[in-house]
Amino acid sequence: MRNIILLGPPGAGKGTQARYLVDTKQMVQLSTGDMLRDAQAAGTEMGKKVAAIMAEGKLVTDQIVIGLIREKLQDGAEGGFIFDGFPRTLPQADALAKLLSDMDMKLDAVIEMQVDDEALVARVSGRSTCGQCGEVYHDETKPWPESGECINCGSTQVKRRPDDNAESLKTRLNEYYKKTSPLIGYYYAKGNLQRLDGLASIDEVRESISWIMGT
Ligand code: AMP
> In percent, how much of the chain has pLDDT > 70?
100
Measured between alpha carbons, how far is 198 from 112 in angstroms, rounded to an integer?
Answer: 9
In this model, does residue 215 exceed pLDDT 90?
no
Residue 189 buriedness (CB in 10 A; 0-12 / 13-18 / 19+): exposed
Distinct helix (H) and strand (E) counts, the chain:
9, 8
Does the CB atom of residue 85 touch ligand 1 within 6 A? Answer: yes
Nearest residue to 65 (alpha-carbon basis) of 43, 101, 93, 104: 93
Q: Give, using CA atoms, the residue closest to atom 1 of ligand 1.
A: 33
Mean pLDDT of the chain, nearest integer: 95
Q: Give, using CA atoms, the residue closest to atom 12 of ligand 1.
A: 54
CB 13 within 8 A of CB 202: yes
Ligand 1 mean position, distance from CA 60 (Å): 7
DSSP string, 156-212: --EE--TT-SHHHHHHHHHHIIIIITHHHHHHHHHT-EEEEETTS-HHHHHHHHHHH
For residue 1, what pLDDT band results from cuts at 50, 70 and 90?
low
CB 25 within 8 A of CB 78: no
Query: For 142-174, how does the pLDDT look when each residue is reduced to its tens digit (9 = 90+)?
Result: 999 999 999 999 999 999 999 999 899 999 999
Cα dihedral angle (198, 206, 32, 62), rounded to 10 degrees?
-50
Measured between alpha carbons, how far is 58 from 55 in angstroms, rounded to an integer?
Answer: 8
Does the CB atom of residue 9 touch ligand 1 within 6 A? Answer: no
For residue 29, what pLDDT band results from cuts at 50, 70 and 90?
very high
In this model, does residue 125 exceed pLDDT 70?
yes
Residue 23 buriedness (CB in 10 A; 0-12 / 13-18 / 19+): exposed
Tell me the best of 14, 50, 54, 72 to mutate to test the pocket of ligand 1, counting ligand atoms within 8 Å of each CB and taking the most: 54
CB 2 within 8 A of CB 108: yes
